[in-house]
């Protein structure tokens, strides 16, 4: 009986935590939408930190990510023969409007979506945070996401390879935030803001300049190595 009660309490706490992470996700989507509403037509075509995608394409990708449940994702991956780049491009094209403003409207419609292909909510919060910075950083739009949201993503990235090989990049390093409670790993020290640590684990090279410590060079070599995966 005690075991059953303990399991129920654990499930309740997990659901509560999951709901809170979704609330943080919705908030970050909303803040990004406000920034996007102020972009010029030229800015919508600007390069991002996300490979070959421009701003509008990254926004369409975020809309797609907020629109796929487990079965839709699996069907899409099967159709793409489990090639993530093909899957991502097809779904991006599907959720891209006739012009940037239509694409923005489609994104605004999913701001409060809690749809995802799996229960790894911190990963989907991370996708919103990372891709939002993929847009903002090249456009020099200042924004620091909620520290609680950043810490949840940093903790997840340090423990798991999910959409990006973040755990592999962090292996053998001690990561320590100087603006929040995040710390992970052992080994050569890397310090900096939680945002910079998250973006570095996600493979975004420009954020390396915001980090300090003897482990930065090792982290950089991993980020630049093709063996450690893409940064989408």
Instruction: Give, for all 232 residues of the chain, the pLDDT tens digit.
Output: 444 445 544 444 455 589 999 999 999 999 999 999 999 999 999 999 998 999 999 999 999 999 999 899 899 899 989 899 999 999 999 999 999 999 999 999 999 999 999 999 999 999 999 999 999 999 999 999 999 999 999 999 999 999 899 999 999 999 999 999 999 999 999 999 999 999 999 999 999 999 999 999 999 999 998 755 555 6
> So what's the pLDDT on residue 163?
87
SS3 letters for 18-42? HHHHHHHHHHHHHHHHHHHCCCCHH
Q: Name the β-bridge partners of 191.
A: 176, 212
Q: Are 148 and 182 in contact (CB under 8 A)?
A: no
> So what's the pLDDT on residue 2?
44
Task: Output the pTM of the full model.
Answer: 0.90
Q: Are 51 and 95 in contact (CB under 8 A)?
A: no
Domains of the chain from N-terminus onward: 2-139 (1.20.120.450), 147-228 (3.30.1050)
What tokens appear for 117 in the block? 């292909």
Report how far residue 169's alpha carbon sits from residue 219's, in angstroms, rounded to the nearest whole number: 6
Q: Closest Cα partner for 126 from 55, 202, 210?
A: 202
The alpha carbon dihedral of 197, 203, 208, 210 has a sign of: negative
Maximal CA-CA distance, the chain: 63
Residue 209 DSSP code? G
> So what's the pLDDT on residue 212?
98
Residue 51 DSSP code? T
């Amino acid at each position: 009986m005690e075991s059953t009660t303990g399991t129920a309490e654990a499930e309740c706490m997990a659901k509560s935590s999951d709901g809170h992470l979704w609330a943080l996700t919705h908030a970050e989507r909303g803040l990004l939408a406000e920034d996007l509403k102020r972009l010029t037509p030229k800015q919508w075509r600007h390069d991002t930190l996300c490979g070959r995608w421009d701003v509008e394409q990254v926004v369409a990708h975020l809309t797609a990510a907020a629109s796929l449940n487990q079965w839709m994702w699996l069907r899409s991956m099967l159709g793409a023969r489990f090639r993530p780049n093909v899957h991502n491009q097809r779904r991006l094209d599907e959720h891209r409007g006739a012009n940037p403003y239509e694409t923005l409207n489609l994104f605004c419609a999913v701001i409060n979506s809690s749809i995802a292909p799996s229960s790894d909510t911190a990963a989907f919060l991370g996708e919103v945070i990372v891709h939002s910075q993929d847009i903002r950083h090249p456009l020099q739009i200042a924004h620091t996401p909620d520290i609680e949201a950043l810490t949840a993503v940093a903790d997840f990235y340090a423990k798991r390879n999910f959409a990006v090989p973040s755990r592999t990049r962090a292996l053998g390093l001690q990561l320590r935030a100087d603006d929040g409670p995040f710390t992970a790993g052992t080994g050569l020290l890397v310090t900096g803001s939680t945002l910079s640590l998250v973006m570095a684990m996600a493979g975004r090279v420009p954020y390396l300049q915001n980090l300090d410590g003897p482990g930065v060079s090792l982290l950089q070599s991993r980020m630049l190595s093709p063996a450690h995966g893409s940064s989408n």
